[in-house]
Amino acid sequence: MEYNAFLIKYAEIGIKGKNRHLFEDALIKQIKFALDKVGEFVVRKEQGRIFVEAEGSFDYEETIEALGCVFGISAICPVVKAESCEWEQLVKLVCDYVEHAYGDKPFTFKVMARRANKNYPKTSVEIAADMGEQILLHFPNTKVDVHTPEVMLHVELRTQVYVYSVEIPGPGGMPVGTNGKAMLLLSGGIDSPVAGYMISKRGVYLDAVYFHAPPYTSERAKEKVVDLARLVSKYSGPIHLHIVNFTDIQLAIYEKCPHDELTIIMRRYMMRIAEHLAKENHCQALITGESIGQVASQTMQSLVATNAVCTMPAFRPLIGFDKQEIVDISEKIDTYETSILPYEDCCTIFVAKHPVTKPKVSAIEHSERKLCEVIDELMEKALDSIETMVVK
């Protein structure tokens, strides 16, 4: 006995009223995309449910892992599917299923039967009662509990027969593609991949931008960011990653501006370039991994000064999170081990010993005027030399 299909449960899509089919279709598209590498499956919609049916052999663990990365799925139920069958065959199918899923473990259960095929000689109430009796007979360690069963055994008679009882939690959220596109400022740290994951989880396509500063940052630091983008793309789908050479802008800031303001001014130029790229690539918002007070450049005043250069909304999904909470998510989504690899990032090289923690926008603007002779040309050069790759 093998599982040969999966019933996909979805949560929030269910409340979308008239637009529901758009969300279901987006979910089906993402499921097909996720399973493309795993094997051959048919994904279809039937009466408010999505079924994934295997067309040939497949790896069970790999399939569950792939489905576990599809936003919009609240639970995955492995199903045994068979051709419509006589009562004796149905009993055998269900008993084989119970044997396969639970062996001789003791458990309480309830049978939930559904009969979409109204020609079947028993009603759904009769199927549930008679099947319950058969299970008790075959598995003496089991007991019926109709109020709080440990196992809810579903038997559904449609054009075919479906048996399932196990629910594996999915990632939740909304299918990617249902909520526009945003530009993620992706560094090699712990926070920004988590921020990208969280916004993508709400159905948003991601583009990403990374600022590197060769030779102060290495090729390996850049590869680490590509690796992080690839890990996030397991959930978000393919990411267009734009790599900006930021060295000359950083050097100019270092040369001309007060050193205690370096980080803030640098962050403001990152945001300006990111917004420019976002507009060029049809993104409606920016995403960063900032959290109030985490470092000097993320105090309330620093965030205000950084944000002041953007007209687009900048989403900061981690804004109220403690570091440990962010680490917990990065471990869950498997970016943590890559994030902590010890490759320098461009911010750490040009940091001041005592950065301002309460910058005033007017003072920062005043300092930035010192760049006025060179900055337009440097910005143009940076934008002209962007390297873009598709990461998946």
Nearer to ligand ATP, 179 or 297 (CB): 297
Nearer to ligand ATP, 209 or 356 (CB): 209
Q: Which does 295 bind (CB under 5 to 8 A by kind): Mg ion, ligand ATP, none?
A: ligand ATP
Interface pick for ligand ATP out of 139, 210, 315, 321 (rule CB under 6 A): 210
Shortest Cβ 206–ligand ATP spacing (Å): 12
Taking the mean position of all CA atoms in its chain, how far away is CA 85? 40
**Amino acid at site 387:** E
Measured from the CB of residue 312, what is the shortest distance to Mg ion in angstroms?
Answer: 21
Residue 174: count of CB within 10 angstroms of its CB? 22
From residue 154 to residue 193, the character string flagging contacts with Mg ion as x (rule: CB under 5 A) and all else as - is ---------------------------------x-x----
What span, in angstroms and rounded, lies between the C-alpha atoms of 141 and 331? 39
Min dist CB 247 to Mg ion, Å, is 17
CB 128 within 8 A of CB 113: yes
To ligand ATP, the closest distance from the beta carbon of 316 in angstroms equals 8
Question: Which residues, 171 to 190, sit near ligand ATP by CB under 6 A?
Answer: 185-187, 189-190
Q: Which bin fits 352, alpha (ψ -120 to 50), beta or left (φ > 0)? A: beta
Helix (H) or strand (E) holding 27: helix 20-35
Q: How many CB atoms lie within 10 A of CB 91?
A: 18
Count of beta carbons in the 10 Å neighbourhood of residue 257: 20
Residue whose CB is less far from ligand ATP, 115 or 316: 316
Say whether residue 289 binds Mg ion (CB under 5 A).
no
Size of the site for ligand ATP (CB under 6 A): 21
Angle at which helix 20-35 crosses helix 60-67, to 10 degrees, equals: 140
H or E element: which one contains 380?
A: helix 375-384
Which residue of the chain is nearest Mg ion when measured via CB? 189
Going residue by residue from 253 to 272, which x/- string records binding to ligand ATP, judged by CB under 6 A? -----------------x--
| SS3 (DSSP) at 246 | coil
SS3 274: helix
List the single partner that 288 binds among Mg ion, ligand ATP, none, CB under 5 to 8 Å by kind: ligand ATP
Residue with tokens 């600022």: 211
Using CB under 6 A as the binding rule, the residues of this chain from 71 to 130 that contact ligand ATP are none
Distance CA 229, CA 171 (A): 18
* Chain residues that interact with Mg ion, rule: CB under 5 A: 187, 189
* Chain residues that interact with ligand ATP, rule: CB under 6 A: 185-187, 189-192, 209-211, 270, 288-290, 294-295, 297-298, 345-347
